[in-house]
Chain A
Amino acid sequence: MTLARLSAVLAALALWGCGKTESPAPEASKPAGDTQQAAAPASAPAPTEPAAPVVKIGLAVPLTGPQAHLGIEIRDGAQLALDEANEAGVMLGGQKVKFELMAEDDEANPSKATIVAQKLVDAKVAGVVGHMNSGTSIPASKIYSDNNLPNISPSATNPKLTEQGFKTTFRVMANDNQQGKVLGEFATGKLGMKNVVIIDDRTAYGKGLADVVERTVKASGKTPAAREFTDDKSTDFQAILTSAKGKKPDVIIFGGMDPQAGPMAKQMKSLGLTAKLVAGDGVQTPNFIQLAGADAEGHYASSPGVPLDKMAGGSAFADKLVAKYKTKIELYAPYGYDAASLFVEAMKKADSADPAKYIAALAAITHNGVTGPIAFDEKGDLKGGLITIYQVKEGKWMPVETVGGN
């Protein structure tokens, strides 16, 4: 565990330090076991040509910072997909190829994400799994599009990502138009909400989701009592929660991630605010329950897709991932796995790792992934994405209902 952590830190340092060496980072950020062997090829790059041609798949997610736990599981999921493809042996253009993951840390920071994106383009990767956040995916997708490099986001859900009209942008998760609508309808419908305060963290994801929820709530004839704001680094919400309390809400909808939602749930309790917290997929994690402790009880969050144990190959996938990397699956690992698998499948169909050749196959793909059947619409969005709503009961996220299909 500490070794893996250390190697992640070293990878981050390597990212800062390097510029001239080709790509030491992906080797360094491989799971701990490989670090030693991998160090050798990194220091002696060009002359020794490996036997099988290498197809590099880029990966860009936060590997440091508050959301690193989610980025790391995407990385491990994608790595597993490529490992399996290598074990099975993939022939492209009559040659057996070897898939390699080039993992980069975008720190969940939009400006860092564009640098990472350019780095992946320059490294001539064949496709990119990423980015994790909406705020990073949107600016990075422009760079990939300009360079005709397909990217599949495992988890960015802001609708704007695919509304830019890029032919190279795909995602394997239902977007926030779908998710926000489901959340809004759930709150006004099943929860019988009377008065709502909406809070968001001002990120592309949080604000985007909260905006859609607000529209849905208004469409049902109710007016939100207040719209409050925080950011994705805060832990103090006393002031906004107190001001929310004055509006007597029975539901508080939060667009944001678990590092904020956890303390928020705690502070709601300590202020005597009995409203239910309703949030999106960024909160539907074990980490939220750990951070909020007993105060997580009774709150709701949605997540695109179906619960891991209800996914077609969910439990088998979880077993494999845990056996191989000891990764704790909170949320996104299956999506990282599916995104990487889609590249392999599309390349197999087109019999080429050249983006210009396989992109048509990717756009038209129908694939049975761990997360369910995957096909893209003309924008690159997931067709018929399902959304499941969960509630914390006795310290666990329990599915309440699955709503689906646009």
Chain B
Amino acid sequence: MSKFDLFLQQIFNGLVLGSIYALVALGYTMVYGILQLINFAHGEVVMVGALVSLWVSLKLIASGVPGPLVFVLGLTAAVPACMLLGFLIERIAYRPLRRAPRLAPLITAIGVSIVLQALAMMLWGKQYKSVPQLIPAIPLHVGGATISTLQLFIIAVSCVLMAGLLVLINKTPLGRAMRATAQDPTVAGLMGVDINRVISITFIIGSALAAVAGVLVSQNYGIAHYYMGFLLGLKAFTAAVLGGIGNLTGAMLGGVLLGLIESLGAGYIGDLSGGFFGSHYKDVFAFLVLILVLVLRPSGLLGERVGGRA
């Protein structure tokens, strides 16, 4: 494998990782855009999505349904389940606190995250669970690098969903209501926008994306467990901040960039530093990026100045 092939391979790895980060980051950024709230329970929604689809898939496989169909059915179970979960999280944990100081919903967000982890642990157990391969992962060779059909599928699904979301936000009446609510909830309300409905829908859409991300990530690594949402959520949050939190395109860009940074960083730091730094700094890259962005450009790459709003 030549140096270039290795580089190409790391780019592929980064793109797959990044498109998952992007899907999850969208959920953070949509909620932040409208409520200025960091929904720290969002990573847990990803986890629930993965585990629900796994649970349904295992039942279906036992009754002999073919793989890709199981995937679709698992997804159609996970997405509504997470939509409902997202709706309930907002209704129970955030709406009563909408007029409270901003720290209060942040604390309930962390509380919801812990509760969901504990519930998942009780429902599905503590073990790492093996996820059956439902989408065929046929390796395709591009030069000396390999990308599997599953990974291409992940990138494709992410792109389609992101494009769909952009259309929804920018071209539909619902999207206009969402943008109006983000700009000024009070005025939007006076103009006849049902704020509560818009906020609920925002959570529902974000959670649906999280469910898809959960299913994809568990397919990619062949593993799911009650703790999987935590670190993924933090990384996606970082991606959202990197791109400019509150900005949809920013979240997508941030996600893909973060995936690439991590992949290339972990892949090359050992050789570049002559073995002084090693690949155990992989997770450090994400959070180093977070710190750098917050210090140097708090509004993120594509974000507008948020000073007035905060």
CB of B79, distance to nearest CB on chain A (Å): 22
Give residues of chain B (135-153) contacting chain A, Cβ–Cβ below 8 Å. Answer: 137, 139, 146, 148, 150-151
Cross-chain contact of B270 among A6, A243, A259, A263 (Cβ < 8 A): A243
Size category of the binding interface on chain A: 35 or more
Q: Contact at B126–A64, with CB atoms within 8 Å?
A: yes
- Complex alpha-carbon distance, A246 and B6, angstroms: 6
Known pairs A233-B231, A239-B13, A242-B9; A263 contacts B280 (CB<8 A): no
A-side contacts of B17, CB under 8 Å: 236, 238
B42 interface residue (CB < 8 Å to A) = no
Encoded as 1 (CB less than 8 Å from any B CB) or 0, chain A from 62 to 102 comes to 00111011000000000000000000000000000000000
B62 interface residue (CB < 8 Å to A) = no
A118 interface residue (CB < 8 Å to B) = no
B267 interface residue (CB < 8 Å to A) = yes
A-side contacts of B225, CB under 8 Å: 66, 259
Q: Contact at A266–B6, with CB atoms within 8 Å?
A: no
- Complex alpha-carbon distance, A68 and B150, angstroms: 31
Beta-carbon nearest neighbor of A241 in chain B = B13
A185 interface residue (CB < 8 Å to B) = no
Number of interface residues of B (CB under 8 A): 46
Q: Contact at B148–A243, with CB atoms within 8 Å?
A: no
- Complex alpha-carbon distance, A230 and B267, angstroms: 12
CB of B144, distance to nearest CB on chain A (Å): 9
Give residues of chain A (202-232) contacting chain B, Cβ–Cβ below 8 Å. Answer: 202, 226-231
Q: Contact at A243–B268, with CB atoms within 8 Å?
A: yes
CB of B267, distance to nearest CB on chain A (Å): 4
B-side contacts of A235, CB under 8 Å: 128, 221, 223, 228
CB of A288, distance to nearest CB on chain B (Å): 10
**Which secondary structure dominates chain A's binding surface?**
helix
Beta-carbon nearest neighbor of A207 in chain B = B280
A270 interface residue (CB < 8 Å to B) = yes
Encoded as 1 (CB less than 8 Å from any A CB) or 0, chain B from 1 to 38 comes to 10100100110010011000000000000000000000
Q: Contact at B267–A242, with CB atoms within 8 Å?
A: yes
A-side contacts of B3, CB under 8 Å: 246
Q: Contact at B221–A259, with CB atoms within 8 Å?
A: no
CB of A259, distance to nearest CB on chain B (Å): 4
- Complex alpha-carbon distance, A259 and B265, angstroms: 24
Q: Contact at A239–B266, with CB atoms within 8 Å?
A: yes
- Complex alpha-carbon distance, A235 and B229, angstroms: 12
Q: Contact at A239–B279, with CB atoms within 8 Å?
A: yes
Beta-carbon nearest neighbor of A295 in chain B = B222
CB of A96, distance to nearest CB on chain B (Å): 38
CB of B128, distance to nearest CB on chain A (Å): 4
A-side contacts of B222, CB under 8 Å: 262-263, 266, 291-293
Q: Contact at B137–A270, with CB atoms within 8 Å?
A: yes
Q: Contact at B128–A243, with CB atoms within 8 Å?
A: no
B130 interface residue (CB < 8 Å to A) = yes
Q: Contact at B270–A228, with CB atoms within 8 Å?
A: yes
Q: Contact at B10–A242, with CB atoms within 8 Å?
A: yes
- Complex alpha-carbon distance, A72 and B59, angstroms: 26
B-side contacts of A238, CB under 8 Å: 13, 16-17, 263
CB of B259, distance to nearest CB on chain A (Å): 10
Beta-carbon nearest neighbor of A294 in chain B = B133
Cross-chain contact of A259 among B9, B128, B151, B263 (Cβ < 8 A): B128
Q: Contact at A270–B280, with CB atoms within 8 Å?
A: no
Beta-carbon nearest neighbor of A5 in chain B = B125
Known pairs A239-B263, A240-B266; A246 contacts B1 (CB<8 A): yes
B-side contacts of A234, CB under 8 Å: 282
A245 interface residue (CB < 8 Å to B) = yes
Encoded as 1 (CB less than 8 Å from any A CB) or 0, chain B from 281 to 299 comes to 0110000000000000000
A15 interface residue (CB < 8 Å to B) = no
Beta-carbon nearest neighbor of A226 in chain B = B270
CB of A138, distance to nearest CB on chain B (Å): 20
Q: Contact at A66–B280, with CB atoms within 8 Å?
A: no
A-side contacts of B9, CB under 8 Å: 242, 245, 271
- Complex alpha-carbon distance, A270 and B151, angstroms: 10
A9 interface residue (CB < 8 Å to B) = yes
CB of A118, distance to nearest CB on chain B (Å): 24
- Complex alpha-carbon distance, A64 and B6, angstroms: 39
B-side contacts of A9, CB under 8 Å: 118, 121-122
Q: Contact at B6–A231, with CB atoms within 8 Å?
A: no
- Complex alpha-carbon distance, A228 and B121, angstroms: 31
Sample of 12 A–B contacts (CB below 8 Å): A66-B127, A66-B227, A229-B280, A230-B279, A230-B280, A233-B227, A236-B17, A238-B13, A240-B279, A243-B279, A262-B223, A263-B221
Query: B: which residues have CB within 8 A of A?
Result: 1, 3, 6, 9-10, 13, 16-17, 118, 121-122, 125-128, 130, 132-133, 137, 139, 146, 148, 150-151, 221-223, 225, 227-228, 231, 262-268, 270-271, 275, 278-280, 282-283
For the A-B complex with A69-B127, A243-B279 known, give 10 more contacts whose Cβ atoms are closer than 8 Å.
A5-B125, A69-B126, A228-B270, A229-B279, A240-B267, A240-B279, A259-B223, A270-B146, A270-B151, A287-B127
